[in-house]
Each structure stands twice: as structure tokens, then as C-alpha cells.
Structure 1
């Protein structure tokens, strides 16, 4: 066995350090909508985001199950021509 083969083999035998990551719905679009107070990316509240790492796995799963039913931002338009005409 050559010296290069021994180095490659010993590198494969070294256990790799890993850690359990907390499951999160974050999609890296972190903008809190001013009206709904929910994140535009994941639909969590600012309080939920802040407490996420301290929550139990069950608490996080409960919130994640609710997220598809939340509307992070209103879908109706806030202005434009129609809003000006209604005055």
C-alpha cells in the first residue's frame, strides 16, 4: 500500500463531527410584514422565531403544521388606481 493510500484510508476512518440541527421552516427570506407581523418567508411570528431554538420538538412541529394555513402578507393590493377612485 502506498503512502497516499494510507493517508486517504486514515482520513476516511476518522469520525466526522456532526450535530443535530433544529428543524426549521426558514427559507432565508426574513422580512416581517408590518400588518400581519408574520415573516414573509416562513409565516412565523417574530415571537415564534425568537423562541424557536428554545422550543421542544413537539412545539415546533405544532407550529409548522399551522404554517400552511397562515397568510404572511395580504394578497389584495393596497393602492393603485382603484384605491384612488374609491375616495
Structure 2
């Protein structure tokens, strides 16, 4: 399992227990993949990265959900 996917599950559980604010997926590996348009470290788009600081917690959780889905889709479609 991808480290970010595992972290997403931990974040979701912590938020359910009242953690605020929702932490960033950033792991300081900041390189954009030209083919996908996602950061190779946190799996976010440039738009998601740029707007993170102005997002509320539900929006941040939605980004985490998209990150999890991207990881799942990528791992599912590997040869």
C-alpha cells in the first residue's frame, strides 16, 4: 500500500475523532508528473495545492478522497 494512501486512512480516522484542521497530504516530495498532472509526493493537482490554505475542512477531506481514489486507480491499472 502506498504511504499516502495509508496516511489518508489515518487522517480520516483522526478527523472523525475531532482533529482539526485537516492536515496537508504534502510529504515534501514536490515534483509534478507530466503525464498525470499530479504531484509525485502527495498526488494532488497544482490547483489543489494552490488552494489548500483557503479550503475548509470538508474541501480538504474531499481532496484526500480524490488522492486515495487516484492511488487506487493507479494501483488497480498496473500491469
TM-score computed with the length of structure 1 as normaliser: 0.55
Structure 2 segments unaligned to the other structure (5+ residues): 1-19
Q: 1:21 to 1:62 in 2, by over 3 A?
A: closer
Please, what is the CA RMSD of the aligned residues?
A: 2.7
Equivalents in 2 of 1:25, 1:67: separation in Å? Answer: 9
**Offset of residue 49 of structure 1:** 0.1
8 A Cα contact 1:22 1:53, kept in partner: no
Alignment of 1:42-61 (within 5 A): 42-61=42-61
**Structure of higher RCO (CA pairs closer than 8 Å, 6+ residues apart):** 2
Name the structure with the higher helix share: 2
* Number of residues of Structure 1 aligned to a counterpart in Structure 2: 57
- The ranges of structure 1 where at least 4 consecutive aligned residues each deviate by more than 6 angstroms after the TM superposition are none
Larger Rg: 1
